């Protein structure tokens, strides 16, 4: 698997050792109905059919549907904002490259080819560009046109840079970097200028996710021990812990209306599930409920996915 997945595995192993509480799977009355009413779909990847494939589901967990069908690893789906296409990474041609496909899984097209490996595709809000991470050992954030042209290195820094997330207006990109020691969250302008650090706390802060209204960034942090979901204002102020379940939580993704956040939670030693909660951290519900490894949710916001 790719480097940041390996990084996550390392964090997860250490999290397992001091994680003894059972996960909270309380399902508040009406919460699933509220999630389902958002009308959008959540993409994720799972090994439930023998190898890692991309799936989508309704935000109440119903209608889990497989999109890819290839013996290679197909992972880290990202919805285009119009809900018509999904970008993902696959090693079906050897090294990991960025692919796009239609929302029903048809017509997968390879966009990048690199000896370094490409991962974590992120559509720009206008659908014209895709940001991604290039590099297994030391990553850089690149951006390209949605057809793979005009490839540009945005971070251009010797340290590891990964995990990009566009602001809703498309003017800025949040990302993770190891340039100041442990992993921290940074923002930059969409042309790579003005790279600014937002988090300053040890140990690792990573996986930023810009809220739909542009005012907040959800992220992962291990600052209180077991990795949990946090949120801060887009300028880095008011950093607040959202999950307190004692179980490792990763990879936040916002619902279209900003009222909910989906994430992945480690259950036991190896099982992952996709959970959703209210944006204030209350009301956890397990959406996937499958013994396979279900990871890396991406909550679609597109018009094609809404009622
Ligand atoms: Ca596959
Ligand atoms: Ca770098
Ligand atoms: Ca940190
Ligand atoms: Ca599972």
Instruction: Please write the tens of the pLDDT for every residue from 6-24.
Output: 344 444 434 443 433 344 4
Ligand nearest to the CA of 45: 1
Ligand nearest to the CA of 91: 1
| Residue 303 confidence (pLDDT) | 65
CA 36, 46, 302, 184 torsion: positive or negative? Answer: positive
| Residue 23 confidence (pLDDT) | 42
CATH number assigned to the domain covering 3-305:
2.120.10.30
Going from the Cα of 98 to the center of ligand 2, the distance in angstroms, rounded, reads 18
| Residue 168 confidence (pLDDT) | 96
| Residue 136 confidence (pLDDT) | 78
Residues having C-beta closer than 5 Å to ion ligand 2: 140, 155, 157, 161
| Residue 18 confidence (pLDDT) | 40
| Residue 302 confidence (pLDDT) | 75
Instruction: Please write the tens of the pLDDT for every residue from 206-228.
Output: 999 999 999 999 999 999 999 99
Instruction: Please write the tens of the pLDDT for every residue from 60-104.
Output: 999 999 999 999 999 999 999 999 999 999 999 999 999 999 999
Ligand nearest to the CA of 53: 1
pTM (2 d.p.): 0.91
Using pLDDT thresholds of 50, 70 and 90, give the confidence band for residue 128.
very high
Using pLDDT thresholds of 50, 70 and 90, give the confidence band for residue 306.
low
Instruction: Please write the tens of the pLDDT for every residue from 239-295.
Output: 999 999 889 999 999 999 999 999 999 998 899 999 999 999 999 999 999 999 999
Task: Kindly report the average pLDDT of the chain as a whole number.
Answer: 90
Going from the Cα of 36 to the center of ligand 3, the distance in angstroms, rounded, reads 35
Going from the Cα of 53 to the center of ligand 1, the distance in angstroms, rounded, reads 4
| Residue 30 confidence (pLDDT) | 85
Instruction: Please write the tens of the pLDDT for every residue from 162-192.
Output: 999 999 999 999 999 999 999 999 999 999 9
Q: Average the pLDDT over 28-38 and give the result.
A: 81
DSSP assignment string, the chain: --HHHHHHHHHHHHHHHT--SPPP----TTHHHHHHTT---EEEEE-TTSS-EEEEE-TTS---EE----SS-EEEEEE-TTSSEEEEEE-TTSS-EEEEEETTS-S-EE----SS-EEEEEE-TTSSEEEEEE-SSS-EEEEEETTS-S-EESS--SS-EEEEEE-TTSSEEEEEE-TTSS-EEEEEETTS-S-EE----SS-EEEEEE-TTSSEEEEEE-TTSS-EEEEEETTS-S-EE---SSS-EEEEEE-TTSSEEEEEEEETTTEEEEEEEETTS---EES---SS-EEEEEE---GGG--
Going from the Cα of 98 to the center of ligand 3, the distance in angstroms, rounded, reads 28
Going from the Cα of 305 to the center of ligand 1, the distance in angstroms, rounded, reads 24
């Amino acid at each position: 698997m790719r480097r940041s997945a390996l990084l996550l595995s390392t964090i997860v192993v250490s999290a397992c050792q001091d994680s003894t509480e059972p996960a909270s799977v309380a399902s508040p009355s009406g919460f699933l109905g509220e999630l389902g009413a958002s009308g959008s779909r959540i993409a994720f990847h799972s090994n439930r059919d023998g190898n890692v494939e991309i799936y989508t589901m309704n935000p109440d967990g119903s209608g889990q549907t497989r999109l890819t069908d290839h013996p290679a690893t197909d992972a880290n789906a990202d919805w285009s904002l119009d809900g018509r296409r999904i970008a993902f990474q696959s090693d079906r041609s050897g090294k990991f490259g960025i692919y796009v496909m239609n929302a029903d899984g048809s017509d997968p097209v390879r966009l990048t080819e690199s000896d370094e490996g490409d991962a974590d595709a992120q559509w720009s809000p206008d659908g014209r560009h895709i940001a991604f991470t290039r590099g297994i050992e030391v990553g850089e954030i690149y951006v390209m046109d949605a057809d793979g042209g005009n490839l540009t290195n945005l971070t251009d820094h010797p340290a590891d840079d990964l995990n990009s997330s566009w602001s809703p207006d498309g003017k800025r990109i949040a990302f993770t970097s190891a340039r100041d020691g442990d992993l921290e969250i940074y923002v930059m302008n969409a042309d790579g200028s003005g790279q600014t650090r937002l988090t300053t706390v040890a140990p690792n802060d990573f996986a930023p996710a810009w809220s739909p209204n542009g005012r907040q960034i959800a992220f992962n942090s291990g600052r209180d021990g077991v990795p949990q979901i946090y949120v801060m204002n887009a300028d880095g102020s008011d950093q607040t812990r959202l999950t307190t379940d004692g179980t490792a939580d990763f990879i936040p993704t916002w619902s279209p209306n900003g009222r909910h956040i989906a994430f992945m939670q480690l259950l036991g030693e190896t099982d992952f599930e996709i959970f959703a909660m209210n944006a204030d951290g209350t009301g956890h519900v397990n959406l996937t409920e499958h013994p396979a490894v279900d990871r890396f949710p991406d909550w679609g916001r597109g018009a094609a996915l809404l009622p």
